[in-house]
Amino acid sequence: MAKCWMCSTRKGKRYCIPLDKLICPTCCAESRQVKIACEDSCRYLEGASFQEKRTEDKKFAELMYSVGHGKFDDIFREPAVACMAYEIESLVRDIYVSGNLRITDTSVYQTYKTIYAIHYQDKLIEESQLDEFTVRLLEAYRMNSSAWKADMDEEMVGQVFLRLMISVKKMSGGRMGEYGYLNYLKNNLEEDRGNEVVVEDKFGNKIFRELD
């Protein structure tokens, strides 16, 4: 097999369309979109995008789980945090129960993540690219953020969205299906049952369970 056109030391295993040469995987990884004007259709570029997304998701997960959510350090124990979370989840519950928008636990999770990314990671996203559910929650953020920030610092307001994402992760999937979190909101948000909640699985079965 021919040597890599760029380093001349390793085997050229990948055909690079812009260079019209064979290059090695190492040079491909180091030079793509830096020294090489890669085409969007390049399958190796797609692989790189996948790896970048996986790395980004891992970093975000670390950020998310750095927020207190244990038995003794849960930020939900703070009254201002609990109040803000209740307002957000009440809106989500009302949208879900009304049935006007089709949402799942995954779409709620992604919306919480998008709101955090826009307001706390300076991510630019055109409103035309957002679904109606996300637009409605962003509007709620704009309307209520000043009041939230009057009761807690801005960083904590952002952490509330990260903590809500943890709730979605814990209550969704498996036997709970794609509506575990949403059904939790539907069954428990309006009534105070103390330390007991109604859990509804994907088959519609309801049981009473003590909070973790």
pLDDT in tens, 96-112: 999 999 899 999 999 99
**Euclidean distance between CA atoms 206 and 178, whole angstroms:** 15
The identity of residue 210, as a single letter, is: E
Average pLDDT over residues 169-187: 87
Q: Which residues contact 103 (CB under 8 A, 6 or more apart)?
A: 92, 95, 96, 133, 182
What pLDDT sits at residue 185? 93
Q: What is the pLDDT of residues 123-155, one digit of tens each?
A: 888 888 899 999 999 999 999 999 999 999 999
**Euclidean distance between CA atoms 16 and 32, whole angstroms:** 10
Instruction: Identify the H or E element spanning 188.
Output: helix 180-188
Strand, helix or coil at 12? coil
Q: What is the pLDDT of residues 156-173, one digit of tens each?
A: 999 999 999 999 998 888
Question: Given a cut of 60, is residue 194 above it in pLDDT?
Answer: no
What pLDDT sits at residue 29? 85
Which has the higher per-residue pLDDT, 41 or 157?
A: 157
Which has the higher per-residue pLDDT, 206 or 26?
A: 26
The CA distances from residue 154 to 35, 97, 106, 116, 176, in Å, are 41, 30, 26, 12, 33
Q: Helices 79-98 and 132-151, interaxial angle, to 10°?
A: 160
Q: How confident is the model at residue 191 (pLDDT cuts 50, 70, 90)?
A: low
Give domain limits for the chain: 14-58, 75-210
Which has the higher per-residue pLDDT, 92 or 1?
A: 92
Q: How confident is the model at residue 176 (pLDDT cuts 50, 70, 90)?
A: confident
